[in-house]
Structure formats: structure tokens, C-alpha cells
Structure 1
Amino acid sequence: MTRYGYAAMNTTLREESVRTNRGMREATFEERGLPYAGELAEKNCSDLRRIVEWNLDHDIYFYRITSDLLPWYSRYSLGDLPNAATVREELEAVGELATVNDVRLTFHPNHFVKLASPDESVVDNAVGDLENHGALMDAMGLSRTPYNAINVHIGAHYGDKEATGERFCGNLDRLSESVRSRLTVENDDKESLWSVPELVETVADEAGIPVTYDELHHQFTSRGLTRREAARLAADTWKTTPIIHYSESRRLYETDSTTRPQNHSDYVRGPILTYGTGADVMIEAKMKERAVLRYRERNDVNSKSDTPGDDARGT
């Protein structure tokens, strides 16, 4: 049964100052150090629990956690925080909620995480960032499977796609089991970058990493495949319930010709299809949980399977 989720901010709770991305400038971190970082981390993790509880109250069982949960996390380990025990307690509480209620929690590290970069320092930073995500998932007690995905993009081709793909797969050996077991890779939104069939051939077939199908992105990298064909091709790389990302272009809703067609709309009309894959759907819309609730209400779906609709080519 399809679950519809959203990412990071809960706009309803944000009005009550509930958020999970409290941070600080580098100068503040240098001045106030780990005690202040720990204070912010504790508040973020406590509010993460509140968001998951709110989601449960509204029958939302799929949620993407912000990668900004721990401020300046690249500069320390979780155990270095003065209040590490309390932060861990909050993370464990989130994980227990997820486990008991079968809530799917995932991460999507930002575009600076470039595991295929030819620059060794960039790869070092990417590995460190990914390991931090894995450590947070382990602290929550989440499964070491793509069910609790850490989803990334290859992010570039560096003038030689074949060599870039080989670097990406080669650098997987630098990742711990905590990360590699959860890693997934997503198709891009630029014609020159990575499509679903390229990721399947280069990453899934070679290294066993599942491919996350993004429907809007596919329109820019279709390689002649229909949406159904691409979604099913990606889904076949999963050994657990696949994930589909669904968003709609803001251009569908406004007349500003300067708006990039890749920009996400506030809400989505659908219909959202999973093409018989049984995938969970991450709705990437600016209005977050409100977009999920409106879509479910208007389409009379709540953890149901596909709504019938067109299988147009993603061109």
C-alpha cells in the first residue's frame, strides 16, 4: 500500500516554532563550541520527535529527516557533545516511534556530497558526511537497508561519464556497512546528467545500489523511456519497497517565464502513479505536509495504491 510522505519542515508546527534545522554561523560555532551545538542538537531532535508524532496523528508514515539535524556535525562526533546521552535518548525515542508504527524515515544529503568527484578532498568530505548520516540512523535503531534510505545523486559527469561511474562505485568501498547498506542513488534533472537507465547500468547492476525514481527529473533525462518504463526499471533494483519522488513544476501554476521548469510547486494535483511498483511516494512540494494532506483529501487516497491516470512520455 502506497504511503505518501514529505521532507524536513512541517509548516503547521513551524508556526509553533517546532523545527529541526536550528544552526549557527561558523563564527558562532568557533566561539560557543560543542556546548551550544549540543543545545541546538537536543532541541532539533526533540522537535523531530514532535514532528513524527504529528505525522502519526495525521496518518503520515513516510518522512525525510533534514540533514541539518546536528549543527556543524562535520566537526565532531555525536559522542563528543556534552549532552550526548540526552541527544541519543531523543534519537532513540524517534527510532522507537518509527519501529513500533512502521514509519519510514530517510535522509537526502545535500548536493555537496559528491562521492564521484575527481578531487580527493571532496570525496573525503562526502564520505565523512555520509558516515554522519549513518551514525544518526544507527542511533535511532533504524534498519540497515534501503528501507531507511540515504539517498544521493552522483551529481556531475566531470566530462567522462564512464570514469565518473567507475569512481562512484569504487568509492563505495570507503563507506561503512552503516552507510552502504542504506545508500540509494537518484536520477538527475539535467539532460547531460544521470538518467534512470544509466544509473541502473552503471551503479545498480555493478554495485547493487538501488535507484530512486524521480518523476519530475525523468522529464529532463528520459532517454526515450516512458514514465512507467523508467519507474519499473528503477523499482526492479530494490529488494525492499521502492521509493518514488513526485513533484510538479512551478511553471504549471504560474506564468513567470523566468521560473526554472525544475522548480517545485507549492502543492501537487497528480494523479500520482506508482506504475504497479508498490512504491512509497515522497511528495516534494513547497507546502510539505499540507501538500500531502490536500492531495490525499482531493484524490480520496490514504495509504492506497495507484490512482488511474495517463502514462505519458517524460519528454
Structure 2
Amino acid sequence: MLGYPGLNRTLRDRDTPVRCTRGMQKQTFEERGLPYVSTLAQQNLTDLYELLQWNRDHGITLYRCTSSLIPWNSQFALSELPAYNEIQRLARRCGDLIREHNMRFTFHPDYWCKPASESAETRARARRAIEYHAEWFELLGLPATPYYGITVHIGATYGDIGATAERFQAFVNTLSDDARAHLTVENDDKESLWSVPQLVERISDPTGVPVVFDYHHHSFTDRGYSYREAFEMAADTWQDVRPMTHYSEPACLRDPTVRPQAHAEFVSDPPGWLQSAADVMIEADGKERAVLKLRDAKA
């Protein structure tokens, strides 16, 4: 299956935008508190349902949701929210739609989520983030499995890749069973950071955490492996679950002034072997339009 992450540009551009990305700044959270969080969460979940319906109607069954779904969730338990029963109802409605139509639904906390940091405080923040994303899956009524993944980057090696791997392994052991069951790791987009073979050997083999293969990122950290070789290494970590992959094409192919890591608006040529062996998240600035354009071109 093919899918896209984050906002849906078609729905966002309506006169009344549909989006599940409503958040707030720290000052607003401190001033307006949990009642406003509850209001935003209900709006986000209502619009998420409409977005998932749009995906279903357009044959898109893979979607990565924003981490703004329930703003500031690191600061409170879900059950503390006013109108929690209504939030539960709205979330379960989304989860029922996902399961009824065999959709795949994932999260991807941002780069500030650093589970192998040298800082205990930073690792604690990462743990809270992964745990509340796992709680969102529970709220949706979706089972704890990497099929519904929470994908993180390890990022820096902090000058000692072995020690960093050990911190990550210790970090995984501090997670709840559900959070650990959702957790996946992705290869990075800088030569000095984590490649697929390093993730497989130092992270997945010791912990069982599956590796998400990012096709574009591999061009920065190939370590002498072809795209297909690296994908097959990552795919073997998924055991009985269909692998998840990310595919994008560099914007610098069309505009040499942008940084090499930047994603193009659309994509033209995901390898057939990748699509046949994995679910593919199209990471293009065109979002759902990129998926539809690609699918129409292949028709």
C-alpha cells in the first residue's frame, strides 16, 4: 500500500479547513489549560475521521498522523481531560474505521525525541513522548504491534556508537510493553549518523525493534550497500509484520539551490521491488496529491 504523512492539502485548502494538527504554544497552554486541550483534541479527532474517510474514498490505506493530535499530552494523563468520554468516543470511531478498512496508521515523533541521548532528562522526555503515542493507539482501539508503528530516529552517535547503542537498549527496557511493541527505528540522513546495517546489528538484533528503511536517507549512509540490499536487511527485522518503508526523491534534482535532504513535491519512480515487498510512505511535499499523481501515472 501507498500512503502519505501529516496534513492533507486537499482538505486543508477547503473554505473550512480539515486538519488534525491543532496545537498551542506553551503560554497558551499555561493560560487556558486542559479545557482548551480538550477542545482542540475533539476538533483534531473529528477532522481525523473526515481525513480517514477521504483516504478510504480515494483508495489510500496508509497514513501517518501528526504528533499534535492531543496537544501537550506530556503534561497530563488522558483521563484528566474534560470531556474525556467524548474524546474516547471520537478516537474509537477513527480506530474502528482504520480496522474496518484494513488501513495502516502510524506516528513519527519529531527529531527532539532522542531516546539514546547522553542526557537523562532528554531520555525521560523521549520516554514520555513514546508512551503517550502508545496511549493514543490504545485510545483508538488499535493493537500493540509495529504494524501500527511509532518510528523514532536514534540520530547522534555522541562520539561513541557502542555506548549510544547500549543506552538505547537500556531505554527500550524502560518502556511499557505496549510502547515497546509499537516502537520502530529509522535510518538517518547524514553520513555521520545511523545507517541500516548499524541499526540492524546494534539496535534491532539485541532488542527486536524493527528497522524502517528510508530510501532517500540511505543515499547518505549507504555504507557500501545497495538500496535493495539495505532494504532486505531492514525487512528481515520485521518478522511476521509487513515492513514499513519511506520513499522520497530529492528536491535538488530539480532545484540545485536546496539542501540534498529536502523532499521533492512529487515522486516519479519508487522501485517495483520496494512496493511489492513493503508498505511505502511517500514523503513528498505534495502529500496526498503526490500519492494520487504517482498512482495515476502507473495506471
TM-score (ref. length: structure 2) = 0.97
Q: Which amino acid aligns with 2:288?
A: E
SS of the residue aligned with 1:146? coil
2:45 maps to 1:76: no
Alignment partner of 1:15 out of 13, 29, 49: 13
**C-alpha deviations, 1:195-238, integer Å up to 9, x for none?**
00000001111111110000000000000000010011100100
Cα drift, residue 27 of structure 1: 1.2
Structure 1 partner of 2:296? 297
Structure 2 partner of 1:86? 86
Moved over 4 A (4+): none
- Paired with 2:274 and 2:261, the residues of 1 have a C-alpha distance of 22
Cα drift, residue 273 of structure 1: 3.6
Structure 1 partner of 2:267? 268
Contact 1:244/1:274 (CA < 8 Å) preserved in 2?
no
SS of the residue aligned with 1:271? coil
**C-alpha deviations, 1:33-70, integer Å up to 9, x for none?**
11011101100011011110000000000000101111
Please, which runs of 5 or more residues in structure 2 have no aligned partner? none
Structure 1 partner of 2:143? 143
- Paired with 1:289 and 1:271, the residues of 2 have a C-alpha distance of 16
Please, which runs of 5 or more residues in structure 1 have no aligned partner? 301-315
- Paired with 1:113 and 1:272, the residues of 2 have a C-alpha distance of 30
Cα drift, residue 254 of structure 1: 1.7
Contact 2:3/2:60 (CA < 8 Å) preserved in 1?
yes
- Paired with 1:247 and 1:276, the residues of 2 have a C-alpha distance of 13
Cα drift, residue 83 of structure 1: 1.2
SS of the residue aligned with 2:237? coil
SS of the residue aligned with 2:7? coil
Structure 1 partner of 2:49? 49
**C-alpha deviations, 1:246-299, integer Å up to 9, x for none?**
00100112242xx11000011111133444862000000011000000000012
2:297 maps to 1:287: no
Matching of residues 21-60 of structure 1 within 5 Å = 21-60=21-60
SS of the residue aligned with 1:281? strand
Structure 2 partner of 1:116? 116
- Paired with 1:186 and 1:277, the residues of 2 have a C-alpha distance of 20
Whichever structure has more helix as a proportion of its residues is: 2
Structure 2 partner of 1:242? 243
- Paired with 2:209 and 2:6, the residues of 1 have a C-alpha distance of 24
Change (3 A) 1:24 1:271: closer
- Paired with 1:24 and 1:149, the residues of 2 have a C-alpha distance of 25
- Paired with 2:23 and 2:11, the residues of 1 have a C-alpha distance of 18
SS of the residue aligned with 1:148? coil
**C-alpha deviations, 1:93-114, integer Å up to 9, x for none?**
1100011110000000111111
Structure 2 partner of 1:175? 175
Q: Which amino acid aligns with 1:12?
A: T
SS of the residue aligned with 2:232? helix
**C-alpha deviations, 1:150-206, integer Å up to 9, x for none?**
001101101100100110011111100111001110000000100000000011111
- Paired with 1:28 and 1:47, the residues of 2 have a C-alpha distance of 22
SS of the residue aligned with 2:147? helix
SS of the residue aligned with 2:87? helix
Q: Which amino acid aligns with 2:10?
A: T
- Paired with 1:60 and 1:226, the residues of 2 have a C-alpha distance of 29
TM-score (ref. length: structure 1) = 0.92
% identity of equivalent residues:
47
Q: Which amino acid aligns with 1:242?
A: P
- Paired with 1:93 and 1:272, the residues of 2 have a C-alpha distance of 35
Cα drift, residue 117 of structure 1: 0.7
Contact 1:20/1:47 (CA < 8 Å) preserved in 2?
yes
Structure 1 partner of 2:99? 99
- Paired with 1:101 and 1:291, the residues of 2 have a C-alpha distance of 22
Structure 2 partner of 1:230? 230
Contact 2:247/2:270 (CA < 8 Å) preserved in 1?
no
- Paired with 1:102 and 1:277, the residues of 2 have a C-alpha distance of 17
- Paired with 1:21 and 1:151, the residues of 2 have a C-alpha distance of 18
Q: Which amino acid aligns with 2:2?
A: Y
- Paired with 2:270 and 2:21, the residues of 1 have a C-alpha distance of 31
